[in-house]
């Protein structure tokens, strides 16, 4: 079974600075998908970024980028120029490449607070 | 327009009651899910359906019964509610292809008295 570990339960960062959230996973699969989701205090879970394991290039979405190290099974999220609206709980998720199922295993989450 | 909508947003009820949570998505997705998020924010999948067929059924008490009348709807019925059922329940949907991200609803906070 896959496991996803987020070792930082809570983090804080000053507005406009950069912060990195860590995620490691354990799997015997060679191909899979990784995601970061954001859950603001309003509760709705929103996709931040998606990475395909067979792609070596790190995914980027505006201020959000990942450092994907397949051999180390590490998938960290970097948030640049942090904004107050980035305050949220961030979940790392692993998905096996199963058709029509999309089963994801989520980490326990990291609560990020952006301070003014 | 709400993409994945759940009703109700809040549900307060007594132990032993039966309740249902409804979920609808207007994204044209063919796969839908139910997740449970406990008080510590741990998120665990419960069920997933693809084209109205059950695909994933995690270790969930059989008091929980999902029903998918069509691709756009996945409802969750819970019998004989227990204190441990208190949680936020999230509905989600995705395209059925490999590696597709999920779109989540706002969640339903279930509180058992």
For residues B1-13, give the mean pLDDT: 91
pLDDT digits (tens, 9 = 90+) for B52-109: 888 878 878 999 999 999 999 999 999 999 999 999 999 999 987 778 899 999 999 9
What is residue B22's predicted lDDT score, i.e. its pLDDT?
97
The CATH number covering residue B77 comes to 2.60.40.10
Q: Do A102 and B106 touch (CB under 8 A)?
A: no
Task: Please state the domain extents for chain A.
Answer: 3-115
Q: Can you say whether residue B16 is alpha, beta or left, with left for phi > 0 and alpha for psi between -120 and 50 degrees?
A: left
Show the domain range for B15: 4-112
CB proximity B73 to A under 8 Å: no
What is residue A36's predicted lDDT score, i.e. its pLDDT?
97
Task: Quote the minimal CA–CA distance from A97 to chain B in Å.
Answer: 5
CATH code, residues A3-115:
2.60.40.10
Across all residues in chain A, what is the average pLDDT? 92
Among A39, A91, A97, whose Cβ lies nearest the Cβ of B98?
A97
Residue B1 has pLDDT above 70, yes or no: no
**Spatial separation of the C-alpha atoms in residues A63 and B35, rounded to whole Å:** 28
Chain centroid to Cα A66, Å, comes to 8
Contacts of B42 in chain A (CB under 8 A): 106, 108-109
**Spatial separation of the C-alpha atoms in residues B113 and B106, rounded to whole Å:** 22
CB proximity B92 to A under 8 Å: yes
For residues A75-92, give the mean pLDDT: 97
pLDDT digits (tens, 9 = 90+) for B22-40: 999 999 999 999 999 998 8
Domains: count for chain B: 1
The confidence band for A30, taking pLDDT boundaries of 50, 70 and 90, is confident
Q: Do B99 and A95 touch (CB under 8 A)?
A: yes
For residues A89-114, give the mean pLDDT: 87
**Spatial separation of the C-alpha atoms in residues B107 and B21, rounded to whole Å:** 10
């Amino acid at each position: 079974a896959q496991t996803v570990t987020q070792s930082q339960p809570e983090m804080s960062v000053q507005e406009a600075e950069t912060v990195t959230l860590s995620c490691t996973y354990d799997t015997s699969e060679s191909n899979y998908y990784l995601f970061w989701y954001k859950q603001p205090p309003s509760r709705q879970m929103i996709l931040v970024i998606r990475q395909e394991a067979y792609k070596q290039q790190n995914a980027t979405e505006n201020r959000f980028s990942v450092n994907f190290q397949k051999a180390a099974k590490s998938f960290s999220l970097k948030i640049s120029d942090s904004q107050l609206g980035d305050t949220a709980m961030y979940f790392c998720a692993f998905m096996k490449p199963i058709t029509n199922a999309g089963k994801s295993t989520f980490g326990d989450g990291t609560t990020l607070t952006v301070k003014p | 327009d709400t993409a994945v909508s759940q009703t109700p947003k809040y549900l307060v009820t007594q132990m032993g009651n039966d309740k249902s949570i409804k979920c609808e998505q207007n994204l044209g997705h063919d796969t839908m899910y139910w997740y449970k998020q406990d008080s510590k924010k741990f998120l665990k999948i419960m069920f997933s359906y693809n084209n109205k067929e059950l695909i994933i059924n995690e270790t969930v008490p059989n008091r929980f019964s999902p029903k998918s009348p069509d691709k756009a709807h996945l409802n969750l019925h819970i019998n004989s509610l227990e204190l441990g059922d208190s949680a936020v329940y999230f509905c989600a949907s995705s395209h059925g292809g490999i590696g597709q991200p999920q779109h989540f609803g706002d969640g339903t906070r279930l509180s058992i008295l």
